[in-house]
Amino acid sequence: MSTLLTVENLHVSYQRAITALTGVSLSVDSGQIVAILGANGAGKTTTLRAISGFIGLDNARVTQGSIRFDGTELARRPPYQITRQGIALVPERDKVFPNLSVHENLEVVSSRSDGAERARLQDLVYTHFPRLGALKKREAGLLSGGERQMLALGSAIVCAPRLMLIDELSLGLAPVIVEEIVEHLKSIRTDLGLTILLVEQSAAVAFRLAERAFVMEHGGVVLSGSSAELESNDAVRNAYLGTGSEGRRSYRDLAMARDKELKA
Amino acid sequence: MQLVANIIVLSAIYALISCGYVLIYRVSRVLNLAHGELMMVGAYLLLMTASFTSNPMVAIPVAAILSLTMGALVYLLLMRRMTGESVLAAILTTIALGILLRGLIVIFFSAAHQYPAVPLGIHSSSVQVLPGARISSLSLILVIVTALVYASLFAFLRLSRWGLRMRAAGQNPLLAAQRGINLHGIYAMVWAIAMFTGSVAGMLISLDAGLDQTLIMIGLKAFPAALVGGLDSLLGALIGSLIVAAAEVLLIQYVNPLLADVVPFLILIVMLVVRPWGLFGTREALDRV
Ligand SMILES: Nc1ncnc2c1ncn2[C@@H]1O[C@H](COP(=O)(O)OP(=O)(O)OP(=O)(O)O)[C@@H](O)[C@H]1O
Ligand SMILES: [Mg+2]
């Protein structure tokens, strides 16, 4: 399997002062679903946003490091070029255009794909999320959280991506909706041959969906491995699944656990 | 009847100018306070092309295309550097640009009152539009042009792919960029359209009434019209123009002609106190001014 995305030693700062990432390295093989776990403020969102491209709007900068996608260097490119290379982001907040209708949201793309391809992808979205089909004319700002997440996933899919970045897939959604979305996401992935990198607070959801996972803390990656390995890792169980024998421990322990492993 | 005709002509003038304020604000959240000057520059561009050719069918389109180009250049060379800076910085930049343009116009074209209609051989005649109401033929053309411009803007924003992208960029620029839209291209386009519509207004007014720096005043008076309607609504600009024009014409007629330049700003102040987001604007839109 070939590597689709390689992030190496990525440093990002906000407003030239706040350092959010201090040397993140991770890689994603093509065709995989990969999850990023980590505490609030660990830098998960920043990592995804750096990959999909910053824009001058909130003064964030990649100060060091590289992001290679399918052999092309992406760091410091504007976001619209990155989308056209085949990376689509489902952001954490403000993920739809509130005053456009559902269908218009699925029309606002400017990608490599032509009109016929776009229509095919829109059909695919409506088949997998029939609820959106019923709400075509509704303003996106009036949708419920779950519908909004489906629309956000749908409009990323219409960009014809090879790599899809999803920030907080299950945040604020009822378990049944998460279940539904996860199932559809899996089958869309197979249909389109997508690679997915997602940030997920719920380790249970992440391990069920993803083949590999990275654990982030304080702006860096502290642990990585296949979902099965991480799921059986004691420190991860303690921190994320709440099932360890010693009760919940701090996230910092993850780093110690890894160091212990390395020494052993 | 004559009053009604006057109100319609004046509101068409304000509407043709104020859509430029609305377009730029709606798409990039920048208040372009140089719009009056850019409109005047458009009129001087016509004066310039008229010195090369006496055929209005050449001079006017060439000047219009030049103004379209210049609008895009204003964005690409100047305003583009303001993305990511505070909105206040962007507004101050437009004010500085306005002052600079005034100075340049005096240097290149002198401050004298000039008539672009003369070299083009255009004579305005008076036409009967309503029973008992006459307006100049150029005013009639201006009303028709305004109607055409608004109809095409509505169609463009509602139906075309680029219009959809503009609306999207206005709502969430970052997300629009992440959907593959080149924001600089969109913004350059909107500045070009705004300068184009403003310049057409400036040209038509100066063909009728001649041209000097007082044209800026008309551009400034169209700003209250845009704000009364709600800065991010085209329909609002249309209705705001009607309100401001009606108030102005009626007060001039029945109270005091000297009020002409005061009325729009009086309405502006009342509006800012009572309903700052305008008649049709979105309430949160104004937070970002
Ligand atoms: N726009 C911003 N301006 C300044 N600092 C920011 C900005 N966005 C994030 N940060 C800072 O960068 C760090 C990483 O934030 P980030 O949003 O990437 O974390 P996260 O892992 O996604 O957290 P969460 O789980 O809460 O979403 C935090 O310390 C945060 O305060
Ligand atoms: Mg986050």
Between CA B150 and CA B229 the distance in angstroms is: 15
> Do B168 and A100 make contact, defined as CB atoms within 8 angstroms?
yes
Q: Which residues pair with residue A33 across a beta bridge?
A: A196
Residue count (chain B): 289
Domain that holds residue A61: 3-232
CB B251 within 8 A of CB B46: no
Q: Do residue A227 and residue A260 come from a single domain?
A: no
Q: Do residue A197 and residue A259 come from a single domain?
A: no
Q: Do residue A96 and residue A79 come from a single domain?
A: yes
Between CA A53 and CA A60 the distance in angstroms is: 10
pLDDT of residue A255: 54
CB B42 within 8 A of CB B265: no
> Do A110 and B175 make contact, defined as CB atoms within 8 angstroms?
no
pLDDT of B182 above 50: yes
> Do B168 and A108 make contact, defined as CB atoms within 8 angstroms?
yes
How high is the mean pLDDT of chain B?
90
DSSP H or E segment with residue A176? helix A175-192
Question: What is the CB neighbour count within 10 angstroms for residue A39?
Answer: 18
Q: Which residues pair with residue A62 across a beta bridge?
A: A12
Query: Which amino acid belongs to residue A164?
Result: M
> Do A95 and B175 make contact, defined as CB atoms within 8 angstroms?
yes
> What confidence tens digit (pLDDT) does each residue in A112-164 have?
667 888 899 999 999 999 999 999 999 999 999 999 999 999 999 999 999 99
Residue count (chain A): 264
CB B57 within 8 A of CB B46: no
**With 0-12 CB in 10 A as exposed, 13-18 as middle and 19+ as buried, what is A123?**
exposed
pLDDT of residue A245: 42
pLDDT of residue A264: 54
Cβ of A85 less than 6 Å from ligand 1: no
Short-list B20, B91, B71, B75, CA closest to B288:
B91
Q: Which residues contact A14 (CB under 8 A, 6 or more apart)?
A: A20, A58, A59, A60
Residues B228-256 as b or e (16 or more Cβ within 10 Å = b): bbbbbbbebbbbbbbbbbbbbbebbeeee
Going through chain B in order, the beta strands assigned E by DSSP cover 126-130, 133-136
CB B53 within 8 A of CB B59: yes
pLDDT of residue A230: 84
Pairing of strands A220-226, A212-217: antiparallel
Lowest mean pLDDT among B36-50, B174-188, B233-247, B251-265: B251-265
For chain A, the farthest-separated pair of C-alpha atoms sits apart, in whole angstroms, at 60
Q: Do residue A67 and residue A118 come from a single domain?
A: yes
Percent of chain B past pLDDT 70, that is, above it, reads 97
Measured from the alpha carbon of residue A201, the closest ligand is: 1
Cβ of A110 less than 6 Å from ligand 1: no
Q: Do residue A244 and residue A189 come from a single domain?
A: no
Of A16 and B15, the one with more pLDDT:
B15
Between CA A63 and CA A76 the distance in angstroms is: 9
> Do A108 and B181 make contact, defined as CB atoms within 8 angstroms?
yes
Residue spans per domain, chain B:
2-120+130-287
Cβ of A14 less than 6 Å from ligand 1: yes
Structure tokens at A21: 């990432």
Structure tokens at B21: 């304020």
Of B66 and B227, the one with more pLDDT:
B66
CA torsion A216→A221→A227→A228, rounded to 10°? -110
Q: Do residue A97 and residue A157 come from a single domain?
A: yes
Pairing of strands A60-69, A72-73: antiparallel
pLDDT of A18 above 50: yes
Q: Do residue A142 and residue A248 come from a single domain?
A: no
Distance from CA of A221 to the nearest CA of B (A): 25
- Identify all chain A residues contacting B167, using CB atoms and an 8 Å cutoff: 97, 99-100
Cβ of A49 less than 6 Å from ligand 1: no
Spacing, Cα B112 to ligand 1 middle (Å): 58
Q: Do residue A37 and residue A112 come from a single domain?
A: yes
Between CA A119 and CA A121 the distance in angstroms is: 5
Cβ of A18 less than 6 Å from ligand 1: yes
- A45 Cα nearest atom in ligand 1: 22
Question: What is the CB neighbour count within 10 angstroms for residue B115?
Answer: 16
Which of B83, B84, B180 comes nearest A110 by C-beta?
B180
Structure tokens at B173: 């620029």
DSSP H or E segment with residue A172? none
Q: Do residue A261 and residue A153 come from a single domain?
A: no
Q: Can you say how many angstroms the Cα of residue B217 is from the centroid of all Cα atoms in its chain?
A: 12
> What confidence tens digit (pLDDT) does each residue in B232-280 have?
889 999 999 999 999 999 998 898 888 888 888 888 888 888 887 777 7
Q: Do residue A36 and residue A164 come from a single domain?
A: yes
pLDDT of residue A244: 44
Short-list A261, A162, A175, A56, CA closest to B177:
A56
Q: Do residue A151 and residue A243 come from a single domain?
A: no
CB B243 within 8 A of CB B18: no
- ipTM for the predicted complex: 0.86
Q: State how far the alpha carbon of B102 is from the alpha carbons of B41, B43, B98, B192, B252, in Å.
A: 9, 13, 6, 19, 29
Predicted model pTM:
0.89
Q: Atom 5 (ligand 1): residue with closest C-alpha?
A: A14
Q: What is residue A193's DSSP assignment?
A: T
> Tell me, what CATH number does A109's domain have?
3.40.50.300
Residue listed under structure tokens 């009639």: B140
Query: What confidence tier does A236 reach under pLDDT thresholds 50, 70, 90?
Result: confident
Structure tokens at A69: 């996608």
The radius of gyration computed from the CA coordinates of chain A, to the nearest angstrom, equals 18
Between CA A156 and CA B159 the distance in angstroms is: 22
pLDDT of B82 above 90: no
Query: Which amino acid belongs to residue A195?
Result: T
> What confidence tens digit (pLDDT) does each residue in A51-90 have?
999 876 677 889 999 999 998 999 888 899 999 999 999 9
Angle between helices B2-28 and B234-254 (to 10 degrees): 140
Q: Do residue A181 and residue A242 come from a single domain?
A: no
Number of separate domains in chain A = 2
- Identify all chain B residues contacting A84, using CB atoms and an 8 Å cutoff: 180
Of A245 and B190, the one with more pLDDT:
B190
